[in-house]
Structure 1
Amino acid sequence: MKVIGVKNILSPAIAGLMMCGGVAVAMAQDVIIAPEQETVIREYVKKKPLASISVPGVELNIGSTLPETVEVHRFEEVSDVTYEYVIVDNRTVLVEPGTRKIVKIYD
């Protein structure tokens, strides 16, 4: 009978978890915004500025979800931008409508 050590069991398990974590991070960063859209977004935010808010207890990271208490805004009269936005700590934060997940942060 062969004895299997704890190291032999944990190493593959840890490697598997790390790979899953890497996939989750990659999925959170999959949003690609075309340069034309970037320009439209930046110009829109300059023309129609919002007051900056702070969201205590929420880390601003791609993939994080904004709470329902945070009011997000649509890009009115801009047909090719499907995201919504809010200004948090003087940074423009793009979120997916419905899920409220952060997809892009502009400094």
Structure 2
Amino acid sequence: MRKTMLATTAAVLTACSAAFAQGTVVIDPAPTGSIVLPGEVRTYVMEQQVPSVVYEGDVVVGTTLPETVEIHEVPNVDGYAYTVVNNRRVIVEPQTHRVIEILE
């Protein structure tokens, strides 16, 4: 009887710990080196119709675009601007023109 009670207790504890582990999964929404772009910024930028600028070279996160590339600030949200480069919409830091995300 005691073995049965111990086995039952062990089974219950195992089931509870598995259920608890499933309820506490942590997901990192921003892998190292990336940002979490507010949804309203993404939506706004994707809806805008601006001409594409031709840029020689690869446009990747971290690229600093020349001052000659016209950027457009996102209204009512500080710290985000955008442009379209080589037919790709990019989010840039307004002060530095550094690409912080490429929207696909």
User: What TM-score comes out, normalization by structure 1 length?
Assistant: 0.58
SS at 1:70 equivalent = coil
In the aligned structure 1, how far is the partner of 2:83 from the partner of 2:89?
6
Q: What is aligned with 1:62?
A: 61
Unaligned 5+ runs, structure 2: 1-31
Q: What is aligned with 1:49?
A: 49
The structure whose Rg is larger is 2
> Cα distance, 1:84 vs. partner?
0.8
In the aligned structure 1, how far is the partner of 2:93 from the partner of 2:45?
17
User: What TM-score comes out, normalization by structure 2 length?
Assistant: 0.59
Q: Is contact 2:82-2:91 (8 Å) kept?
A: yes
Q: Which amino acid aligns with 1:97?
A: P
In the aligned structure 2, how far is the partner of 1:92 from the partner of 1:86?
6
Quote the sequence identity (%). Answer: 34
> Cα distance, 1:48 vs. partner?
2.4
| The one of 22, 32, 35 aligned to 1:32 | 35
> Cα distance, 1:69 vs. partner?
0.8
Unaligned 5+ runs, structure 1: 1-28
Point out 4+ residue stretches in structure 1 off by more than 2 angstroms: 45-48
Q: How many residues align?
A: 73
> Cα distance, 1:46 vs. partner?
3.6
State the superposition RMSD in angstroms.
Answer: 1.9
Q: Is contact 2:91-2:102 (8 Å) kept?
A: yes
Q: Which amino acid aligns with 2:73?
A: R
